[in-house]
Amino acid sequence: MVECPQARRHVDAMRRLDQLNFSNSYARLPEPFHSRLRPTPLQGTHLLSFNPAAAELLDLDPLESLRPEFTHWLSGQAPLPGSEPLAALYAGHQFGHYVPQLGDGRAILLGEVQNRRGERWEVQLKGAGLTPYSRRGDGRAVLRSTIREYLCSEAMHGLGIPTTRALCLFGSDEEVWREEVENGALLVRLAPSHVRFGSFEVFYYRRQFDHLRRLADYVIAHHYPELREDENPYLSLFREVTTRTARLIAQWQSVGFAHGVMNTDNMSILGLTLDYGPYAFLDDFDPGLVCNHSDYQGRYAFDRQPDIAHWNLSRLGQALLPLLGEPVESGVERANAVLDTYAPDFHAHYQALMAGKLGLRERQAGDAPLLQDLLQLLAAQHVDYSNFFRTLGRFDSAPGARNAALRDLFVEREAFDRWAEDYRARLGAEQSDDSLRRHAMDRINPKYILRNYLAQQAIARAQQGDNSEIERLLRLLQAPFDEHPGDEAYAAAPPDWGRRLAISCSS
């Protein structure tokens, strides 16, 4: 039998869990940055789902998930060879108010794995027990919220949005109290870094500026090495984080993703989507959607996310001021100049993404009003956001074409007809080809998103011991632009019971 050399090398690169190239660069930082401790195993831990796509990031052989040692090591029942477990310290602004100490209250970082491409991936256990930062918490996560993060992080990756990843999901027999008794669970989460805005804030507000500089040097050395030779690498770091955050939020807005808890401790220094709590993807287009039922003032409403990200960046800029040069006024001026780039960068990226969703190849003066009119129409008519754009790819631009599938999404079909005439004219202005346009639009407008009702169905089944919906959704969400014949029901708008499900911060 002749084997492909490339395939042979790929197989040879796969490793057992205890053979991974483990280290922990964050553990080299001094004691104030973290606390060393081992995970506290859950009772009756068992593997519920394993994600081969994430395992590949670690060069981990998927067959490892079948070994008893896999569960022992990754659930904290036995120390994983080479790991140096720790919980990280950070602070943050929660709902606009500064909280001086937060930290990993239930997450424990085992270390980082360097793969054959030279990438480093931190391996973190979420729900691994009490830490010095647990405050009044129990250090646990429950099955409900863990399934939601497991699925959504992979869904976001499938959509091409920067995010943490999920290697596997463990269930347990241990009972955990939230609003009611639930089963405890454990998520194994991957990211190049879990450092967040709040990691800098804690040292700024404690006036521990040497630690602040040490953290900034660490982040630059490990994640932004190209900045080391800049005249002011700390200002360059702030500029890079601002750019990445602007583009991340533009992606959120374009796919209709509401995070729900955009506290500064949930904002990644790498521009990743971090900490999936009471999130939601838009069903009916509602710009003011508040998906977190604890957000009584609507601070983190969908349409406020771009402004909140700017506010959060201003908190990061404040925290970095001691590193931006003397006098302080000059540092403030430099930081504000960086912040001033956020809005134009966000809008440029958002407009480009939305032009793609509309199937437009060129930028023309009337595009912004065309988009704004459409969004106002979708909101007024309560049209399903994702299904509209996916169906728009089938738009027939021929004069007089009725486009019945699109019209039927609207209560007032004539209102759509009026917008469609403007859209038809705009397509004609760039001599758009319907077939080519549909192909391009299907690569940017997903057919499948993680609607809250789908997640709830998977949770309900898993609570009864049936994990099949987790596996099915994982498969669909990792390829959200494909058709998946036979699974079209998963692209449908939610049933009445599944609309506007209230999602809690408790997890």
Phi, psi (rounded to 5 degrees) for 257:
-100, 125
Contact 381, 411 (CB under 8 A): yes
Alpha helices by DSSP H, listed for 321-365, are: 328-339, 342-357
Catalytic pick from 59, 61, 265, 275? Answer: 265
Strand duo 165-177 + 181-191: pairing: antiparallel
Other beta carbons within 10 Å of 161: 18
From the list 11, 501, 98, 21, the residue with the least C-alpha distance to 289 is 501
Strand partners, 107: 126
Q: Is 265 a catalytic residue?
A: yes
Half-sphere exposure (CA, 13 Å, Cβ side) for 67?
A: 13
380: helix, strand or coil: helix
Quote the radius of gyration of the chain (alpha carbons, Å): 24
* 181 CB neighbour count, 10 Å cutoff: 9
Cα 485 → chain centroid: 27
The β-bridge partners of 187 are: 126, 169
User: DSSP secondary-structure letter at 66?
Assistant: G
Catalytic site residues? 265
